[in-house]
A = this chain, B = another copy of it.
Amino acid sequence: MRKVAVIAIGYTKIKEHWNLSIRDLFTEAAITALNEAAIDRVDALYVGNMASGYCQHQEHLGALMADYMGLKSPPAVKIEAADASGGMALREGFQAVASGLHDFVVVGGVEKMSDVLTSDVTYAIAMGADQEYEAFIGATFAALSAMVKRIYQHKYHVSDELIATLPVHCHEMASKNPYAQYPFKITVEQVLSSPFVAEPLRLLECSSPGDGAAILILCPLEKARNFTDTPVEIAGVGAATDTIALYQRDDLTTFKAIIEAANMAYKMARVEPGEVDVAEIHDSFSITGIISLEDLGFFEKGEAAKAIYEGEVAPGGKIAVNTFGGLKARGHPAGATGIYQAVEIVKQLRGEAGKNQVDGAEIGLTQNVGGVGGTAIVHIFRRLR
């Protein structure tokens, strides 16, 4: 199996992009990356996207984007795994290069949710839940995650104040990230006085829809130095699934798929959780982020919120987390999120992360989740010097 590196990145600001269509968004991010890589051909294209069928009534995104980017007829597909679509697209691109079938592969994620009403966005996202047993009876992702928060708090006796420290941390990080959707700070008091979306989850604990696209260009590690001075190796890949519907789970305070995906990735990269310098984790809701930090092996069960309160996830702490704002504040354009995470880790490992740069970061991790833990995908990245 060949080793694989990231040689270029591209992305758009996340916001309501009223003047760009879904193909414009993707192409804007892609052209940045193609200009950076300066490769003369693209052998395959992967497009991570969750809801273009519902939001734009457009499928066949692979061929559409390849054409609109001006590429010469590469194999191209759309990869869907709810809001883990981006991360899973990266995994497919990795395999295409690792297998030896292709050398230069573009992997992107895109989502445009502003084209439909907010109520329709809620419905579109609920397509990642079990339609027949959850969504059909009115369960939204916020409602399902609210149940998770309630049982987690009951089991581990963690206060609302402590859990609120995660969105506060993410907004602090995003305040120094110009492409974040919400680049401003918030306080614990603001979180706790914001309205309930689904009790006990409040508005400022929930990520929100956004439009955005992000791109990575991959090639075999042995060729990477021809195209960049700062290649980043994809050293570990792990993915797993679980029941989509929560009623089938034994335990809602831990996500088995995250544990399995992380163990696979750690093993492949030969890295321990304690060696990771910087991580982009999936905080679609405050509680999802808290549980992720624990299931990834960074903190003991029930301890993550306290660790955040004590500053352990800030740059300079035990492990820097969501240094561009995470899903809560950088934004969560569903199928693009996994690629934004990878772009951010590449920027950290290159030393291009601006005011939130983690000094000497060598090993980075991304963790992208589909639904309420139905799919989990973990990548481990390593700086090459």
Bound-state Cα–Cα, A57 to B123, Å: 9
Interface positions of A from 49 to 98, Cβ below 8 Å from B: 50-51, 53-54, 56-64, 66-67, 73-82, 85, 88, 91-92, 95-96, 98
**In the complex, residue of chain B having the shortest beta-carbon distance to the beta carbon of A45:** B241
Whether B81 contacts A80 by the Cβ 8 Å rule is: no
Is residue A100 within 8 Å, beta carbon to beta carbon, of the partner chain?
Answer: yes
Q: Cα distance A88–B76 when bound, in Å?
A: 9
Count A-side interface residues using an 8 Å CB cutoff: 65
Q: Answer whether residue A244 sits at the interface, using C-beta atoms and an 8 A cutoff.
A: yes
Contact indicator A101/B241 (Cβ below 8 Å): no
Contacting residues, chain B, for A123 (C-beta < 8 A): 57
Cβ 8 A contact of A60, one of B23, B100, B239, B244: B244
Contact of A371 among B60, B82, B130, B132 (CB under 8 A): B60
B101 A63 Cβ-Cβ under 8 A: no
Within 8 A of B (CB), among A226-266: 237, 239-244, 248, 256-257, 260-261
B-side contacts of A203, CB under 8 Å: none
Tell me if A375 counts as interface (CB < 8 A to partner B).
Answer: yes
Query: In the complex, A50→B60 CA distance in Å?
Result: 8
**Assuming A81-B76, A92-B77, A248-B67, is B57 touching A131 (CB within 8 A)?**
yes
Residues B79 and A257 in contact, CB atoms below 8 Å apart: no
**CA of A79 to CA of B61, assembled, Å:** 11
Chain A at the B interface: SS class: mixed
Residue A374 CB within 8 A of the other chain: yes
For residue A91, which residues in chain B have a CB less than 8 angstroms away from its CB?
75
Q: Determine the distance from Cα of A243 to Cα of B61 in the docked complex, in whole angstroms.
A: 11
Taking the complex as formed, is A1 at the interface, i.e. its CB lies under 8 A from any CB of chain B? Answer: yes
A63 in contact with B370 given A21-B132, A57-B135 (CB within 8 Å)? yes
Smallest Cβ distance from A20 to chain B, in angstroms? 12
Chain B proximity mask over A101-135: 1 for CB below 8 Å, otherwise 0: 10000000000000000000001001111111001
**Known contacts A75-B241, A91-B75, A99-B1; is-contact A63 B260 (Cβ 8 Å):** no
Chain B residues, Cβ within 8 Å of A45: 241
Asked if A95 and B99 sit within 8 Å, CB to CB, the answer is yes
